[in-house]
Structure 1
Amino acid sequence: MVSAARPSPLARRRVRTAWLFLAPMLFVLAIVAGWPFLRTVYYGFTDASLADLDARQWVGFDNYFSVLTLPSGRLLYDGLLVDPVWWRAVWNTVRFAVVSVACETVLGMIVALALNAEFKGRGIVRAAILIPWAIPTIVSAKMWQWMLNDQFGI
């Protein structure tokens, strides 16, 4: 039986150092992304309204699915999971995500292959494609630099 080689002390130290550098960013990301997500899940199980978030009562799964029995004995299903408009929105979102990712991947591959191909005028084509892509970022960065300038900024 062949045993797996243990990483060298230098490799272990590099991994530990990398995790130490990543830890603050992961902590901030967990707070910035995790707190709103957890609050959203919590509010999903209450009857909270945007007008007054403090006046809320726990309703459990009733927002998503509830069965009401009418005096006639007939059952009435209510909630998000039986709402056809909601399911239509879910379907539209999934369809948009799949189609847009597929199109962006195909078009991105075509552009990448075209920019990598050897042909006369390749530099001009690269500049014509990459300059309009880079300019808005440069302009935005310069604008923020001016706005945050301590002498004449906002």
Structure 2
Amino acid sequence: MENWLYDEDRWPSGSAGGMVTRYKKYRAKFLEMTLLDRTEYRRMRWTQNLVAVFACRMEEELLYSKRRLCKGDRLEAGETAVVFRKIYAEKNDNYNGYCYVDTMSREATDYFLKITHEKYRKKCGKRLGTKLSGAVSGKLCNAHSGMVPQEPYASDGACTP
């Protein structure tokens, strides 16, 4: 029987039980899309996490026209606001009160390896590759509906929140 180390306290790998994601810069970021009617759009706050807003004419799920909206622009009758925001993963008990890691961030991954795999190397040393075959990582998890994990999340500057 082979012996393997698992590099995490829970699935999926990457947060090191919250030690990585206690730093906000290493937390998973998502591009979230929401649809707003005219009333909801009028009440919408233009915040720093806003990436882009479009006025769209839609039939069911089919988009047949769009225009970029800036703060102060109005929706015309029959238009829906399509809002894109950058959001961070929410904290939850699955990650010891923290959240999922940004698997698209090299810096976050390097930090994870430093505080997990490097510690294994120091503690297990000569046993790695002999009595211990190595360390295995859990597979990544997917975003929720209406969100896409992707970097970078900067606005194109056409309309500043």
TM bucket by the smaller chain? under 0.3
Structure with the higher fraction of residues in strand conformation: 2
Higher relative contact order (CA 8 A, sep 6+): 2
TM value normalised by structure 1: 0.26
Bigger Cα Rg: 1
Structure with the higher fraction of residues in helix conformation: 1
